[in-house]
Amino acid sequence: MGGLAALAKEAGHRVTGCDAQVYPPMSTQLQQLGIELIEGYGTDQLALKPDLWVVGNVVARGNPLMEAVLDAAQPYVSGPQWLAEHVLQGRWTLAVAGTHGKTTTTSMLAHILDVAGLNPGFLIGGVPLDFGQSARLGGDKALPNPTLPTSGEGESSSSTAWGRLGGGGFFVIEADEYDTAFFDKRSKFVHYRPRTAVLNNLEFDHADIFPDLAAIETQFHHLVRTVPRSGQLVVNARSDALARVLARGCWSEVVRFDDVEQGWSAQGGEQEFEVLLGGKRIGAVRWGQTGAHNRSNALAAIAAAQHAGVFADEACAALCSFQGVKRRMELRGTAGGVQVIDDFAHHPTAIATTLAGLRQQMQADAQTPSGPGRILAVFEPRSNTMKLGPMKALLPGALDSADLSFGYAGGLGWNLGEALQPLGARAQAFDDLGALVAAVASAARPGDRVLVMSNGGFGGVHDKLLQALAARTSSDAPTPQS
């Protein structure tokens, strides 16, 4: 919703907004854009008399301001619907969907198109470091390679069809499967009607609105139904769930990544690898991103960019300068020889993947005979799915590669300490954030990495950890002799 507000502001509208407990980087971005943010949902905001209320899916019936809007019969619309009608109409929309990696892959794809000179618009659920903002309108640009082959042979039917339609520029969007609004329970992404759709992966998530994985697969099937026959689906070949989605019906061209035989694949390490299509080398990437998951994200972005007209070798070259996304393995600071790193991981699979990527990076960076330092995982099960507890049994396995784990149990309806018992003395649970910070600062030693994982602000724990580590270092310093 913050990114959508930024788009409306850029389009020339006067924009105000309200929310509760907004935290950086979005709160900072809104302030920099001059968008007034009102804390809370007081009914006095009716006095603003807006032309339209744009409603996010966090707003439910019973919200005092929403009830007042309904009683006053004022016009309102969901965020995705407003976006579809006022921003995406007439654009070549490239949508990135999946349980994991949406923000990073969307950022990669927008970066590739931008380096190619296409000036794409974008809406991303994070702040890409290459742009410094989560959303922009972009501009109209012609296709760079209007007869580009997309699958190895022949002409791109999608590109030529778009040329005949006189398309209005490119827009890259993170396509979330969460529901749209209290009055529209479809997934948000069904509003976007993409010409290029990336299906990155699919697991069970959002236990507060979906009863099981099959229900989420149905929503992905609805997304597939909206892609035109001249469009393209870029699909993870290793996902059984996505295979089931496509088996329910598909009317567009399908290309697959992580497919060694016929599709897009990678050969090499995680930070330096060759990109192949059908086993034929077509480019190489050397970058600072870590983890096998980001290598797969790169393949998806390269494939989607080629469908939009960017040659694969150019896309590979563009990714070499990709800087990443805020709150994705973002170094927040170093104190006492200990790095504090922030990451958005909150689903057990994302936690395990993030830890694996950091471990790989530490082993590669090790400069001492004793090897790399330890990983201290600090996590908050904050998402609605984690709070409900259906995935609590997966946490020990997800955290197993961390040397020590420190979990914050605030607001949970289940016992985090009991869930972490399989890890023994390597894991602790805390109800008090201050006690957690003190325990981490006491356990950390020079060369360690403290990896903080949460999809929220986590009570500013990153700065508190850095302050505690710095204070410990100062107290350990020898007293000057007179």
Give the residue extent of every domain in the chain: 2-74, 81-319, 330-476
| Mean pLDDT along residues 285-306 | 93
| Reduced 3-state DSSP string for the chain | CHHHHHHHHHCCCCCEEEECCCCCCHHHHHHHHCCEEEECCCHHHHHHCCCCEEECCCCCCCCHHHHHHHHCCCCEEEHHHHHHHHHHCCCEEEEEECCCCHHHHHHHHHHHHHHCCCCCEEECCCCECCCCCCEECCCCCCCCCCCCCCCCCCCCHHHHHHHHHCCCCEEEEECCCCEEECCEEEEHHHHCCCCEEEECCCCCCCCCCCCCHHHHHHHHHHHHHHCCCCCEEEEECCCHHHHHHHHCCCCCEEEEECCCCCCEEEEECCCEEEEEECCEEEEEEECCCCCHHHHHHHHHHHHHHHHCCCCHHHHHHHHCCCCCECCCCEEEEEECCEEEEEECCCCHHHHHHHHHHHHHHHHHHCCCCCCCCCEEEEECCCCHHHHHCCCHHHHHHHHCCCCEEEEECCCCCCCHHHHCHHHHHHEEEECCHHHHHHHHHHHCCCCCEEEEECCCCHHHHHHHHHHHHHHHHHHHCCCCCC
Check whether 294 has a pLDDT greater than 70. Answer: yes
Fold of 81-319: UDP-N-acetylmuramoyl-L-alanine:D-glutamate ligase (3.40.1190)
Check whether 223 has a pLDDT greater than 80. Answer: yes
| Mean pLDDT along residues 260-267 | 93
- Please give the model's pTM, rounded to 2 decimal places: 0.79
pLDDT at 338: 94
List, for residues 437-471, the tens digit of each pLDDT value.
999 999 999 999 999 998 888 888 999 999 999 98
CATH code 1.10.1740.10 for 330-476: no
| Mean pLDDT along residues 288-313 | 94
Fold of 2-74: Rossmann fold (3.40.50)
List, for residues 145-171, the tens digit of each pLDDT value.
444 444 443 334 444 444 434 456 999
